[in-house]
Amino acid sequence: MDVWVKVNSSTAGKDKLFRLIQYLSRFVWHNLESRKNIRDLVARLKILESSFSTFRKLLRFGKCVEVLHGTLRTLHLPDAVLRVTLTLSRIYQSFFLLVDHIIWVGRVGLFDINKEKWSDYSNKFWLGSIILNLLRDIYEIYQILRKQAHCQNPVSCLYKNVPVIKTVYNSIPATRPLVQFAEEHRDVFWDSLKNLCDLWIPLTSLGHTKLSPGMVGILGSVSSFAGLVAVLDPLAKLVPA
């Protein structure tokens, strides 16, 4: 119940939850599409996906101004790499959301727009924002590795003083490095996972890659789950954001 209250009390939490349902719907209908006896269910799932997509656009209406205003904070970050990547990412995201508002206006029938053209614009701005976020993630990982290379005491070298949570997976040698990184630096881990999954969605929409709707549904679901983790766990949220 506490988890539901926390998700439901924030716009970001609702957006991530509805996004998870949206992409799960895409994954399910794509895997059921070949079965002729359940075409009605497939059609309903497609409608569900489209409805959640449209609702999320309404939920974010006006957020482009908020995101653009956020560049006033990132412009003064002391770290030059973070200053450039975060500021440019916010600008790209602001344009992405602005175009998203236009697409919503077209979907509800207020104005007649070229939906394919505006969708391409939206995906290009979204892709630019994701690439900049990934560059920031790579920089954060580099900083972590550099700090560890010069560190003598592992306890004093915890990244941002994030406590370590030991799990049984540490006993599996093949997964130990990844699990250890995810435990000690879960903000960077979840943000990197989210951006890596998101990267392929606009690339597919723009025709640069040819992933199936089912694969896009999986990637979108994983990305949405990673975003939910960041909403529920403050230590899993990468800051500054």
pLDDT digits (tens, 9 = 90+) for 43-83: 999 999 999 999 999 989 889 999 999 999 999 999 999 99
Q: 123 CB contacts (<8 Å, ≥6 apart)?
A: 202, 205, 206
Confidence (pLDDT) at 201: 97
Mean pLDDT of 179-190: 86
Mean pLDDT of 126-150: 93
Task: Assign residue 173 a region (left: φ > 0; alpha: ψ between -120 and 50; beta: otherwise).
Answer: alpha
Q: Give the helix/strand (H/E) hosting 7.
A: helix 2-8
Q: Is the dihedral of CA 156, 157, 158, 161 positive or negative?
A: positive
Beta-carbon count within 10 A of 210 CB: 8
Cα–Cα distance list, 108 to 64, 68, 134, 137, 198 (Å): 19, 25, 33, 37, 26
Is there a contact between 87 and 71 (Cβ–Cβ < 8 Å)?
Answer: yes
Query: 165 or 53, which is more confident?
Result: 53
To the nearest whole percent, how much of the chain has pLDDT over 90? 63
Judged against a pLDDT cut of 90, whether residue 111 lies above it is answered with: no
Judged against a pLDDT cut of 70, whether residue 39 lies above it is answered with: yes
Is there a contact between 53 and 73 (Cβ–Cβ < 8 Å)?
Answer: no
Mean pLDDT of 75-97: 96
Confidence (pLDDT) at 11: 78
Confidence (pLDDT) at 16: 92
Give the pLDDT band of residue 160 (cuts 50, 70, 90). low
Confidence (pLDDT) at 229: 93
Say how far apart CA 82 and CA 195 lie, in whole Å. Answer: 16
Give the pLDDT band of residue 95 (cuts 50, 70, 90). very high
Query: 216 or 159, which is more confident?
Result: 216
